[in-house]
Chain A
Amino acid sequence: MAKNKVLIAGLAMTLTAGAVLAAYQRLVQPKYMSDVVEGNLIADYYSSGMDHDVLFVGDCECYENFSPVTLWRNYGISSAIRGSAQQLIWQSYYLLEDTLRYEKPKVVVFNVLSMKYGEPQNEAYNRMSIEGMRWSSSKIGNIRASMTDEESALSYVFPVLRYHSRWSELTSDDLKYYFGAEPNFFSGYYLRADVKPAQKVPNPTPLTDYAFSDTCWDYLGRMMQLCAENNIQLVLIKAPSLYPFWYDEWDRQITDYAEKYHLPYVNFLNDDKLEATGIDFETDTYDGGLHLNVYGAEKLADWFGGYLKDRYDLQDRSQEPVLQAEWNDICARYDAEIERQLKNLEQYGNVKGEA
């Protein structure tokens, strides 16, 4: 066999195998379009204009409690949320690092709840927080920091090694969204228009140890340093979710830290904030106090917009044509989504419109 014939054959085999595997990988990768939609949150950001003055990073208490559309409509502030389900603090840090590759926001808002998780939690959430990211040193750092011991880095590089056995669970979604997911979010905001009044929140069960782990403090420090280097104002917040409990001992540690490093820290659970924002847990939550619905998110965004505008000279950019075009589209989809959800509520009693 002539040498080059062998090389050609070898190359041909590897390429065909690679192509088929890549196509198969796209088929079996979860599409997150029907039951669990939060999987597409991270990837959604890259389809935006990537020009924002305010950036939220955090877990579901970020992407479900603040409506960027309200910030745009009321203050002309272009904002985005880079959050995912149970996003851990180092995941927030690496997402911030990744975002700074594309743009330089003026203010970064971080929700401190994830300080309570000191080590990697579980594979399913990791996948949703990491796989949406574009490949970069941040993604690699994120993988190494988040992997539980049962995961292998290789299965992040080649997701087919992880999802290969999903051929037996394929649904129509896997074909319908083969080439990409439909935009489901509004600059990173997950909209829910239904209402479920808050229940009587049970007593917090005491912990034996309230101290946050060193890993969390380390990444909070790195986030602060990253913002300082890019002269971005870091704002710490605790969103008004009634569960999981935000213990006073935790709050004290964050308040002390904020004072020490002159960082603003807004705990929306405090009575004065609840009053100022006008949040009413009878009408403004869709799951009994855990997350706000769109009405609560709009109230919170409205108050918070004012708060940020006064302190950090955020311009009203609503007249800039480029931003205008992008946000008009977002707002249109936003309003249409509210309408659709309300119609489904009447017809089926749930926002998804399933019987």
Chain B
Amino acid sequence: MNRKAILAAVLAAAMLTGMTGCGGNTGSSTADSSAAGDSAASEAADSAQNELPEVMPDDDFETDSAEPAESSDSEAPQDTPADAGSIAFDYVLNGTAIVVGEEAAPVLEKLGEAESVFEAPSCAFTGSSYYYTYGGVQVVTYPDEHDQSLNRLYEVDLNDSSAATNEGIKVGDSYDDLIAKYGTPTQETPAYASYQTEGKAVRFFLNGDSIKQIVYTIVM
């Protein structure tokens, strides 16, 4: 067999190792999920790959396992302490879930007329923060980073015992009630107990043994 062919065969063989499965995909074939290979994008600028940032749709066929469902509507208070997964991080005020980080306008509309509104314009620019009070609940918004006219929800404060969290804890309850309902906090100091999830947190500020204020807030 002419040795010359080896040169070509070797070249081609080194490349063809991935050839075994054909492109046409059967259901479970993960032929396209070349995660590592793809993300370590070849620097071949011809495909200008390194210019296309990693925002490319992940071409993996398996759908990710569903995120732990964020139960936004109120649950019946359970006895067993809720693990972080099932704590409601979006406070519900007369039927409307206030999801921090989301656009404020639609939520504020549903909440209806606020008792008082405090506007805090920024030092020099057009955007402002707003404080809406609904009885014992105070909702705080902030101007979107890139679009000044768009306001986003930043925080919900429960300032008196008239409002309770979805898990049934309210201002004035004791620290032990809190631990009974919420379990061990993610972060804790004598002044506050904080339960945190990705990008959000609910904080219980303590005055000695009892809760003096409850704050749902964004975590940057």
Binding site for B on A (CB under 8 A): 35-36, 38-39, 59-60, 85-86, 124-125, 128, 199-203, 205-206, 208, 243-244, 287-288, 290
Residues of B within 8 A of A208 (CB): 187, 189, 191-192, 194, 203
Chain B residue total in the interface (Cβ 8 A): 28
Q: Which of B106-122 contact A (CB under 8 A)?
A: 116-122
Contact among B120, B126, B157, B159 for A244, CB-based, below 8 A: B120
**Can you identify 26 A-B contacts, CB atoms within 8 angstroms?**
A36-B125, A38-B124, A59-B123, A60-B123, A85-B123, A85-B124, A86-B122, A199-B117, A199-B118, A199-B119, A200-B118, A201-B118, A202-B131, A202-B133, A205-B138, A205-B157, A205-B215, A205-B217, A206-B192, A206-B205, A206-B215, A208-B191, A208-B203, A287-B121, A290-B120, A290-B121
- CB closest chain-B residue, reference A210: B191
- Least Cβ distance of B123 to chain A in Å? 4
Residue of A nearest to B155 (CB): A205
Q: Which among A35, A85, A205, A243 has the highest number of chain B CB atoms within 10 Å?
A: A205
Of B121, B138, B192, B205, the contact of A202 (CB 8 Å cutoff): B138
Are A288 and B138 in touch, CB under 8 angstroms? no
Bound together, the chains give a CA A86 to CA B157 distance in angstroms of 26
- Give the complex CA separation of A287 and B129 in angstroms: 13
Binding site secondary structure of chain A = loop
- The B135-181 residues at the A interface (CB cut-off 8 A) are 138, 140, 155, 157, 159
Cα of A287 to Cα of B123 in the assembled complex, Å: 11
A128 touches B124 (CB 8 A): yes
Smallest CB gap from B201: residue in A: A208
Q: Which of B169-214 contact A (CB under 8 A)?
A: 187, 189, 191-192, 194, 203, 205, 213
| Residue of A with least CB distance to B213 | A206
The answer for the CA separation of A59 and B217 in the assembled complex, in Å, is 27
Seen from chain B, the residues whose Cβ lies within 8 Å of a Cβ on chain A are: 116-126, 131, 133, 138, 140, 155, 157, 159, 187, 189, 191-192, 194, 203, 205, 213, 215, 217
Instruction: Give bound CA distance, A243 to B121, whole Å.
Output: 10
Instruction: Decide if B124 touches A202 in the complex (CB within 8 Å).
Output: no
Please give the distance in Å from A4's CB to the nearest CB on chain B.
Answer: 41
| 3 pairs of A and B residues whose beta carbons are closest in the complex | A85-B124, A202-B131, A85-B123
A64 (CB) vs chain B CBs: closest residue: B123
Cα–Cα, bound, A36→B126 (Å): 9
Candidate in B120, B159, B213 with the most chain A CB atoms within 10 angstroms: B120
Report the minimal beta-carbon distance from B196 to chain A, rounded to whole angstroms. Answer: 11
- A202-B131, A202-B133 in contact; A243/B120 too (CB < 8 A)? yes
Are A200 and B194 within 8 A (Cβ)? no
Chain A residues with Cβ under 8 A from B120's Cβ? Answer: 243-244, 290
Kindly report which residue of chain A lies nearest to residue B123, judged by CB atoms. A85
Q: Which of B117, B118, B123, B215 has the most chain A CB atoms inside 10 A of its CB?
A: B123
> B116 — which chain A residues lie within 8 A by C-beta?
199-200, 202
Task: Tell me the complex Cα distance, A205–B118, Å.
Answer: 14
A86 touches B123 (CB 8 A): yes
B212 → chain A closest CB, angstroms:
8
Q: Which residue of B lies closest to A59 (CB)?
A: B123
Q: Whole-angstrom distance from the CB of B80 to the nearest CB of chain A?
A: 28
Q: A85-B124, A202-B133, A205-B155 are in contact. List 16 more A-B contacts (CB 8 A).
A: A35-B126, A36-B124, A36-B125, A60-B123, A85-B123, A199-B117, A200-B116, A205-B140, A205-B157, A205-B217, A206-B205, A208-B189, A208-B191, A208-B203, A290-B120, A290-B121
